């Protein structure tokens, strides 16, 4: 499982529970830049994405990748 070596795992507290999310470093970079632009911490941006998921079955990692894509397109 070589692809997993390219993922960077981050841990967050969401709704009172600890969770970890693994994304490629490039996605984390875009999300960190978006958080700075919005005046938020990365944890606050992740919480925002988590609470905005319309489909609770959608993995948080997928929702974060889609948010990073939207941010990159906004660029």
Q: What angle do CA 72, 56, 23 make, to 5 degrees?
A: 40
Nearest to 46, CA basis, from 22, 72, 75, 73? 22
pLDDT of 49 above 50:
yes
Residue 1: band (very low, low, confident or very high) from pLDDT cuts 50, 70, 90: very low
Cα distances from 55 to residues 10, 28, 49, 58, 74, in angstroms, run 22, 22, 12, 6, 23
Each residue's pLDDT tens digit, 50-72: 999 988 899 999 999 999 999 99
Domain boundaries, the chain: 2-74
Nearest to 45, CA basis, from 26, 30, 24, 23? 30
The arrangement of secondary structure in 2-74, i.e. its CATH architecture, is Orthogonal Bundle (1.10)
Each residue's pLDDT tens digit, 8-47: 999 999 989 999 999 999 999 999 999 999 999 999 999 9
pLDDT of 3 above 70:
no
Residues in the chain: 75
């Amino acid at each position: 499982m070589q692809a997993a070596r390219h993922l960077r795992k981050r841990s967050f507290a969401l709704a009172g529970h600890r969770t970890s999310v693994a994304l490629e470093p490039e996605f984390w970079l875009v999300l960190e830049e978006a958080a700075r632009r919005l005046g938020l911490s990365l944890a606050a941006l992740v919480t925002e994405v988590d609470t905005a998921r319309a489909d609770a079955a959608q993995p948080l990692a997928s929702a974060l990748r889609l948010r990073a894509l939207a941010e990159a397109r906004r660029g």
